[in-house]
Amino acid sequence: MDRYLVFGHPVRHSKSPFIHTMFARQTQQELEYGLAEPAVDEFAQALRTFFDQGGKGCNVTVPFKEQAFTLVDCLSPRAKRAGAVNTIKLTDDGVLLGDNTDGAGLVADLKSHGVTLADSRILLLGAGGAARGALAPLLAELPSELVIANRTHTKAQLLAAEFCDLGPVTAQTYEQLAGTFDLVINSTSASLQGELPPLAPALIHTDIAIYDMMYGASDTAFISWAKQHGARQSMDGLGMLVEQAAEAFTVWRGIRPGTKQVLRELKRNLGVI
């Protein structure tokens, strides 16, 4: 049977085996999908061994995405732009192709919630790996403006400079932010510590859409905060997780699974519904 897995550390609580097993069932694909948690300095060896032993493809998550970028034979354009690889496929020619489906997953989830990206004014909070992965797919949707704000402003400036050939992207400090944004995407890891990015409440209005790449059984700190200040539409990163997996599955198997039922099951498992 064709073998796939996810590499990460820690990875025990990954939902990827559940998601891909459901995708395989739904599309009647014969495959198995497992977990691998190599020591941080043993990822390269573990990756090689997996493919030497007949593995067909894998996902890569924290903290190995940047290292995976350096270990594959060939990079997709979106992986090259993201500077990170979350999906690897062994091609029929024996080439290890590195791809990145995170940004596509974000855009697919936003669209599935009916969020319009074309001509919209987008605020992206954070300038780490998650923000980098999102930029090219967001700019491909032709927003009127995309502003990056980050605690460490120089990182936002560098990111904006790196992507400005793809669209109208600029960097602003949190204090400089003004005007009406249609969508705010929180890619910071602040929620992990129960913290908030230092965003002025005046930027939140009833018609704004709020997206937090984090998720949990209850609202993230950022979503709670935005709701308190009047935001009516908020989304967390569970949908992005499922959509990036669907994109990876499509890369591997050439068949696109549906995501709605899987998302519903995951929410049920989390106790959200």
Residue (110 or 127) nearer to ligand ATR, CB:
127
203 and 186 Cβ atoms separated by less than 8 Å:
no
Residue selected from 55, 57, 105, 126 as contacting ligand ATR according to rule CB under 6 A: 126
Pick from 75, 130, 138, 241: which binds ligand ATR (CB under 6 A)?
130
Name the one range near ligand ATR by CB under 6 A: 74-82, 183-191, 214-222, 232-240.
183-191
Q: Which is nearer to ligand ATR, 151 or 227 (CB)?
A: 151
Matching residue, tokens 């930029």: 135
Q: How far is the CB of 148 from ligand ATR (least distance, A)?
A: 9
Task: Mark the segment that binds ligand ATR (CB under 6 A) among 28-36, 185-193, 229-237, 242-250.
Answer: 185-193
Report DSSP state, residue 15.
S
Tokens of 111: 């669209």
Kindly provide the residue ranges of all beta strands, DSSP E only, lying in the chain, ordered along the sequence. Answer: 2-7, 31-36, 57-60, 74-75, 87-90, 96-99, 121-125, 145-149, 169-171, 183-186, 209-212, 233-236
- Exactly one of 56, 65, 89, 155 is catalytic; name it: 65
- Going by C-alpha positions, the residue among 224, 225, 226 that lies closest to residue 207 is 226
Is 188 among the residues that bind ligand ATR (CB under 6 A)?
A: yes
Quick one: 55 or 102, whose CB is closer to ligand ATR? 102
Annotated catalytic, 89? Answer: no
Please identify, among the stretches 26-34, 75-83, 138-146, 187-195, the one whose residues bind ligand ATR according to the rule CB under 6 A.
187-195
Closest CB 189 distance from ligand ATR, rounded Å: 4
Among 61, 67, 157, 189, binds ligand ATR (CB under 6 A): 189
| Shortest CB 173 distance to ligand ATR, Å | 11
Q: Left if phi > 0, otherwise alpha if psi is -120 to 50, otherwise beta: which for 113?
A: alpha
Q: Please say whether the beta carbons of 197 and 222 come within 8 A.
A: yes
Distance separating alpha carbons of residues 174 and 42, to the nearest angstrom: 39
**What Å distances lie between residue 117 and 107, 121, 146, 269, CA to CA?**
9, 8, 10, 31
239 is a contact residue toward ligand ATR (CB under 6 A): no
Residue owning tokens 């859409």: 209
Residue 49 or 154 with smaller CB distance to ligand ATR:
154
3-state secondary structure of 84: coil
Residue 28: CB minimum distance to ligand ATR, A = 35
Which residues are known to be catalytic? 65
Binding footprint of ligand ATR on the chain (CB under 6 A): 126-131, 150-152, 155, 187-190, 195, 197
